[in-house]
Amino acid sequence: MTRSPDLRYNLVGATRSEIAALLGDIDPRPYRVEQVYHWMVRRLAASLDDMTSLPKALRLSLAARAVVHDPVIVEELKASDGTVKLALGYDDGVVIEAVVMAMEGHATICLSSQAGCAVGCRFCVTGAFGPGRHLSGGEIFGQYRAIVRYANLVGRPLNVVFMGMGEPLLNFDALARSLELLAETVSLRRVTVSTSGIVPGLERLARLDRRPNLAVSLNATTQKQRSYLMPGAARWPLSELLAALRAYPLERGRRITIEYVLLEGFNDSPEDARRLPLLLRGLPVKVNLIPFNPDSVHLPGLVAPGDERINAFAAQLAAAHLNVTVRWSKGRDVGAACGQLRSRHVTDRA
Q: Give whichever of 54 and 289 is closer to ligand SF4, judged by the CB atom.
A: 289
How far apart CA 293 and CA 194 sit, in angstroms, is 17
Q: Cβ of residue 168: shortest distance to ligand SF4, in angstroms?
A: 9
Q: Cβ of residue 338: shortest distance to ligand SF4, in angstroms?
A: 6
Query: Binding marks (x or -) toward ligand SAH, 166..195, rule CB under 6 A?
Result: -x--------------------------xx
How far apart CA 100 and CA 111 sit, in angstroms, is 9
Helix (H) or strand (E) holding 108: strand 107-110
Judged by CB under 6 A, the stretch of 97-105, 134-142, 277-285, 289-297 that binds ligand SAH is 289-297
From residue 106, alpha-carbon distances to 158, 187, 339 in Å are: 5, 13, 24
How far apart CA 339 and CA 99 sit, in angstroms, is 11
Judged by CB under 6 A, the stretch of 61-69, 97-105, 119-127, 176-184 that binds ligand SF4 is 119-127
Judged by CB under 6 A, the stretch of 57-65, 81-89, 122-130, 207-215 that binds ligand SF4 is 122-130
Q: Cβ of residue 166: shortest distance to ligand SF4, in angstroms?
A: 6
Helix (H) or strand (E) holding 308: helix 307-319
Helix (H) or strand (E) holding 243: helix 238-247
Q: Give whichever of 163 and 317 is closer to ligand SAH, judged by the CB atom.
A: 163
Is residue 127 near ligand SF4 by the rule CB under 6 A? yes
Among 83, 213, 293, 343, binds ligand SAH (CB under 6 A): 293
Find the length of the chain. 350
Q: Give whichever of 35 and 217 is closer to ligand SAH, judged by the CB atom.
A: 217
Asked if 260 and 219 count as a contact pair (C-beta separation under 8 A), the reply is yes
Residues belonging to the active site: 97, 338
Is residue 124 near ligand SF4 by the rule CB under 6 A? yes
Region of residue 120 (phi > 0: left; psi between -120 and 50: alpha; otherwise: beta): left
Strand partners, 326: 289
**Residue 259 binds which entry of ligand SF4, ligand SAH, none, with Cβ cut-offs from 5 to 8 Å by kind?**
ligand SAH
Q: Cβ of residue 219: shortest distance to ligand SAH, in angstroms?
A: 6
Asked if 62 and 316 count as a contact pair (C-beta separation under 8 A), the reply is no
How far apart CA 171 and CA 166 sit, in angstroms, is 9
**Residue 101 binds which entry of ligand SAH, ligand SF4, none, with Cβ cut-offs from 5 to 8 Å by kind?**
none
Is residue 41 near ligand SAH by the rule CB under 6 A? no
Is residue 167 near ligand SF4 by the rule CB under 6 A? yes
> What's 272's DSSP letter?
H
Asked if 342 and 87 count as a contact pair (C-beta separation under 8 A), the reply is yes
Query: Binding marks (x or -) toward ligand SAH, 133..162, rule CB under 6 A?
Result: ------------------------------
How far apart CA 186 and CA 106 sit, in angstroms, is 12
Nearest residue to the partner ligand SF4, using Cβ? 127
Q: For the sheet with 83-89, list strands across it.
A: 72-78, 83-89, 95-102, 107-110, 158-162, 191-195, 213-217, 256-262, 285-291, 324-326
Q: Cβ of residue 285: shortest distance to ligand SF4, in angstroms?
A: 19
Is residue 213 near ligand SAH by the rule CB under 6 A? no
Among 119, 242, 244, 334, binds ligand SF4 (CB under 6 A): 119
Q: What is the dihedral of CA 158, 159, 164, 168, to 10 degrees?
A: 120
Asked if 214 and 248 count as a contact pair (C-beta separation under 8 A), the reply is yes
How far apart CA 106 and CA 84 sit, in angstroms, is 15
- Residues lying near ligand SAH in the complex (CB under 6 A) are found at 123-124, 163, 167, 194-196, 217, 219, 259, 261, 290, 292-293, 337-338
- Residues lying near ligand SF4 in the complex (CB under 6 A) are found at 117, 119-121, 124, 126-127, 166-167, 196, 217, 230, 338
